[in-house]
Amino acid sequence: MRKDRFKNKDGTCTAYSFICGYVELYGDPDYPRATLSREPNDYHVKGFTADGGHFWEIFEHVKDARRFARKQAGKLRTPKP
């Protein structure tokens, strides 16, 4: 069985996929509330707040960046019509 170089078992991006430019989306798939990407040496979490503002946080470790992105996306759930 060949190992997937782009996705971890839990569906998140691998370090290799971030280097290739992949981005993780958090929140509603049609309207993501936060994105996680890699810039040289850092992980960037960008998104929008419920009041129309935005945020952009930078982390050294992907674990911390994912924790923050999940927390922000959980706060900003899009209401179901």
Which own/partner pairs from 45-50 qualify as long-range (CB within 8 Å, at least 24 positions apart)?
A: 45/69, 45/72, 47/72, 47/73, 47/76, 48/76, 49/76, 50/75, 50/76
pLDDT in tens, the chain (81 residues): 457 789 998 888 998 999 999 999 988 777 778 899 999 889 999 998 777 788 999 999 999 999 999 888 876 544 444
